[in-house]
């Protein structure tokens, strides 16, 4: 019997809940630590970014209006789906980064746990970061957190899966939608994570994932007038200044984080104060 | 009326004229339209195409919820699509229901927008299901209120059941009513005509009856202005020009929502009817959302970064 031929996966982009190839038709080659060919992921162009932002903008009001309970459930669902496919992710991290299987396994475990952790924040944000403000009159004054809108992000190069989740989860848990550029050298688990997203009841357009070159995409994210905030944690310090200048045109909130945590959620929330008469 | 010497107004002559038309190669039309849609238009050509497309837009609002305020806002936008940039051309026309024509006329005139056309949809738009008397009165109302263009619908039921002369006579009657007061656009609702052959037949029928423009759709039914249908209509006006020495305009309407779609239409025009048709007097695009996308693409070309819908007006 003839030897079976492997069926290799085509790694594509994830935009608006679908898996298109890059509009430009471009791909790039990734190799493992020993220099052997692994795959040809898409090399996203600025037009792919544009399409992703359009999708994210359309999805934003609906996602933002969904209940905190529902958002938390969906994030938890992501964790469930990721848990079920652990071996695949371990293999992809092992293959692209050269870390040991044990380390890769730990990264996947951490990723699942991190998703659960962020999911838990969903229905606690309003009470923890909002407030009932003291006033000198017969009315209430509340401060409540609201989503900022469409957030662009550059995920950390390494660890590629945990870094991606630390980028995406805090942005969406507050009701934002996100367009994220995954790790350039190890994008495989990002695109496999897109398959997890596609089967987790995340509405189309809430999470959009591109693969490609950071230097090419980041400036277009920063200058895009329909992007409200940007996470540039995945970029070297040298490029930060230029991106902050490019983002100034629409007063984009641009942040860089050292680690995961609640400050990543709070950074992309806007706090709004409203008054309400007593007794009504 | 002579009907360009092509028909004499009788049923027999109309049938003879339409039966002489060759059948449409459906696969060929789809393939050609698909091939032309892959053309890439960039930089200065794109800039020209965007401005040309803006000047060809028939800015349309045909909703039950249309209010005088919305129509007035639409007119302002038609005259000056981007209030922050006076180099943006005015659109081709405003297109409204006929009870809104007087409001649009007054507003256009008061803001110096008399150069913008004012189109009224007529003859029991969008279905065309009314008596001839009602259709004539509908058109008369729009003309009296100051419409400069009449967008009439054909009776698709009559067309499909073979009453071609009935459809022909309706167009002639409305044409006579418009006289020199208004341009006549004839809407086929190609989504209801079933076949490409019917689209070709309807095109030649309407042109012989005296249409100034032939228009794909009402925008109320999908599919609307698909590329192959527009291609067939553009071929029809090109061939009709050979027969009559008169250039008839084409107006795709419905489903053209972004700049890419609009530029594809311009490519179709240039490659099918020819560059003579690349003018607002011979090619219009019926749309509402399209204009904002054109403006945003124009901003992108000027500024070098992507624009946001927050910086263009909603309606």
Give the pLDDT confidence of A67-97 residue by residue, as tens digits: 999 999 999 999 999 999 999 999 999 988 8
The predicted-structure confidence for B59-82, as pLDDT tens digits, reads as follows 999 999 999 999 999 999 999 999
- The rounded distance, in Å, linking the Cα atoms of B218 and B188 is 8
Catalytic residues of B: 151, 215, 251
- Number of domains making up chain B: 1
Range 189-228 of A in CB contact (< 8 A) with B: 220, 223-226
Chain mean pLDDT for chain A: 94
A-B CB pairs within 8 A amount to: 26
DSSP one-letter string for chain B:
--GGGT--SSHHHHHHHHHTSPPP-HHHHHHHHHHHTT----HHHHHHHHHHHHHHEEEE---TT--HHHHHHHHHHHHSSSTT-TTSPPPSEEEEEGGGHHHHHHHHHHTT-TTSEEEEEESSTTTT-S-HHHHHHHHHHHHHTT-SEEEEEP-HHHHHTT-HHHHHHHHHHHHHHHTTTSEEEEE--GGGS-SHHHHHHHHHHHHHHT-SEEE---SSSSS-S-HHHHHHHHHHHHHHHHHHS-PPEEE-BSS--SHHHHHHHHHHHHHHT-GGG-STTTB-EEESTHHHHHHHHHHHHHHSS---GGGS---
The predicted-structure confidence for A192-227, as pLDDT tens digits, reads as follows 999 999 999 999 999 999 999 999 999 999 999 999
Partner B contacted by A250 (CB < 8 A): yes
- The rounded distance, in Å, linking the Cα atoms of A17 and A42 is 16
- The rounded distance, in Å, linking the Cα atoms of A51 and A62 is 18
- The rounded distance, in Å, linking the Cα atoms of A276 and B3 is 72
Is the pLDDT at A277 greater than 90? The verdict is no
**Whole domain around residue B125: which residue ranges?**
3-311
Two tokens, residue A205? 């357009």
Q: Give the full edge-to-edge strand order of the sheet including A150-154.
A: A207-210, A177-181, A150-154, A229-231, A253-255
- The rounded distance, in Å, linking the Cα atoms of B145 and B74 is 18
3-class DSSP state of A27: strand
| B295 contacts on A by Cβ (under 8 Å) | none
My answer on whether omega of the bond before A159 falls inside 30° of 0, hence cis, is yes
Identify the CA nearest to B95 among candidates B212, B178, B183.
B183
Q: What percent of chain A has pLDDT over 90?
A: 88
Identify the CA nearest to B242 among candidates B20, B4, B2.
B4
What per-residue string of b and e applies to A24-52 under the rule 16 or more CB within 10 Å gives b?
A: eeebbebeeeeeeebbebbbbbbebbbbb
Two tokens, residue B188? 């086929």
Give how far B307 is from chain A: nearest CA, Å.
Answer: 5
| A246 contacts on B by Cβ (under 8 Å) | 305
Partner A contacted by B112 (CB < 8 A): no
Name the closest residue on chain A to residue B310, using Cα atoms: A226
Beta carbons of A224 and B310 less than 8 Å apart: no
* Residue B1: per-residue pLDDT: 56
What per-residue string of b and e applies to B123-132 under the rule 16 or more CB within 10 Å gives b?
A: bbbbbbeeee
Name the closest residue on chain B to residue A51, using Cα atoms: B306
Phi, psi for residue A67 in degrees, rounded to 5: -70, 155
pTM, entire model = 0.90
* Residue B275: per-residue pLDDT: 96
| A50 contacts on B by Cβ (under 8 Å) | 306
Partner B contacted by A2 (CB < 8 A): no
> Which positions of chain B have pLDDT values less than 50?
none
Q: Give the full edge-to-edge strand order of the sheet including B183-187.
A: B249-251, B213-215, B183-187, B149-153, B117-122, B93-97, B57-60, B285-287
Give how far B306 is from chain A: nearest CA, Å.
Answer: 5
The predicted-structure confidence for A116-173, as pLDDT tens digits, reads as follows 999 999 999 999 999 999 999 889 999 999 999 999 999 999 899 999 999 999 999 9
- The rounded distance, in Å, linking the Cα atoms of A194 and A165 is 11
Beta carbons of A226 and B304 less than 8 Å apart: no
* Residue A191: per-residue pLDDT: 94
The predicted-structure confidence for A254-275, as pLDDT tens digits, reads as follows 999 988 789 999 999 999 999 9
- The rounded distance, in Å, linking the Cα atoms of A103 and A161 is 12
- The rounded distance, in Å, linking the Cα atoms of B77 and B184 is 24
ipTM value: 0.84
Beta carbons of B306 and A220 less than 8 Å apart: yes
Interface test with A, best of B295, B308, B309 (most A CBs within 10 A): B308
Domains of chain A as residue ranges with CATH:
42-277 (3.40.605.10)
Altogether, the residues listed in chain A come to a count of: 280
Give how far A165 is from chain B: nearest CA, Å.
Answer: 27
CATH number at residue B256: 3.20.20.70
């Amino acid at each position: 019997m003839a030897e079976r031929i492997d069926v290799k996966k085509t790694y594509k982009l994830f935009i608006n809940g679908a898996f298109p190839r890059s509009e430009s038709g471009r791909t790039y080659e990734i190799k493992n630590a020993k220099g052997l060919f692994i795959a040809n992921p898409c090399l996203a162009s600025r037009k792919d970014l544009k399409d992703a932002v359009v999708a994210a903008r359309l999805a934003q009001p609906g996602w933002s209006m969904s209940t905190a309970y529902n958002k938390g459930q969906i994030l938890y669902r992501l964790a469930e789906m990721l848990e079920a496919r652990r071996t695949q992710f371990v293999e992809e991290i092992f293959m692209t980064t050269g870390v040991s299987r044990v380390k890769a396994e730990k990264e996947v475990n951490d990723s699942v746990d991190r998703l659960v952790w962020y999911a838990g924040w969903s229905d606690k944000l309003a009470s923890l970061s909002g407030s009932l403000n003291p006033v000198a009159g017969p009315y209430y004054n509340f401060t409540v957190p609201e989503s900022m809108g469409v957030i662009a992000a550059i995920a950390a190069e390494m660890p590629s899966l945990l870094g991606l989740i630390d980028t995406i989860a805090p942005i969406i848990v507050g009701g934002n939608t996100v367009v994220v550029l995954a790790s350039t050298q190890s994008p495989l688990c990002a695109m496999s994570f897109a398959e997890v997203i596609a089967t987790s009841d995340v509405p189309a357009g809430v999470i959009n994932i591109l693969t490609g070159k950071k230097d090419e995409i980041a400036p277009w994210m920063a200058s895009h007038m329909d992007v409200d905030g940007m996470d540039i944690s995945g970029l070297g310090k040298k490029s930060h200044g230029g991106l902050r200048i490019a983002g100034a045109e629409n007063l984009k909130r641009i942040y860089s984080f050292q680690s995961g945590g609640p400050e990543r959620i709070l950074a992309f929330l806007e706090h709004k104060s409203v008054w309400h008469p007593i007794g009504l | 009326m002579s009907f360009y010497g092509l028909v004499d107004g009788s049923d027999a002559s109309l049938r003879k004229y339409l039966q002489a038309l060759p059948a449409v190669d459906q696969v060929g039309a789809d393939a050609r339209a698909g091939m032309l849609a892959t053309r890439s238009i960039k930089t200065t050509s794109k800039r020209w195409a965007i401005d040309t497309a803006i000047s060809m837009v028939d800015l349309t609002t045909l909703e039950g919820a249309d209010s005088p305020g919305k129509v007035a806002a639409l007119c302002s936008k038609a005259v000056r699509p981007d209030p922050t940039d006076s180099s943006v051309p005015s659109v081709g026309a405003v297109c409204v229901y006929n009870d809104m024509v007087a409001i649009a006329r007054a507003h256009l005139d008061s803001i110096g927008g008399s150069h913008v056309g004012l189109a009224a949809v007529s003859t029991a738009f969008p279905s065309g299901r009314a008596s001839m008397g009602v259709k004539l009165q509908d058109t008369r109302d729009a003309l009296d209120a100051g419409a400069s263009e009449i967008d009439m619908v054909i009776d698709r039921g009559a067309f499909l059941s073979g009453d071609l002369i009935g459809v022909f006579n309706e167009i002639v009657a409305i044409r006579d009513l418009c006289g020199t007061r208004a341009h006549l656009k004839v809407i086929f609702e190609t989504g209801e005509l079933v076949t490409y052959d019917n689209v070709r037949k309807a095109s030649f029928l309407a042109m012989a009856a005296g249409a100034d423009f032939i228009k794909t759709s009402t925008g109320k039914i999908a599919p609307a202005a698909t590329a192959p249908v527009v291609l067939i209509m553009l071929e029809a006006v090109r061939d009709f020009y050979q027969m009559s020495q008169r250039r008839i305009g084409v107006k795709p309407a419905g489903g053209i929502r972004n700049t890419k779609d609009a530029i594809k239409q311009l490519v179709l025009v240039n490659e099918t009817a020819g560059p003579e048709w690349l003018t607002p007097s011979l090619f219009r695009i019926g749309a509402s959302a399209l204009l904002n996308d054109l403006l945003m693409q124009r901003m992108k070309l000027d500024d070098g970064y992507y624009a946001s819908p927050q910086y263009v007006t909603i309606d």
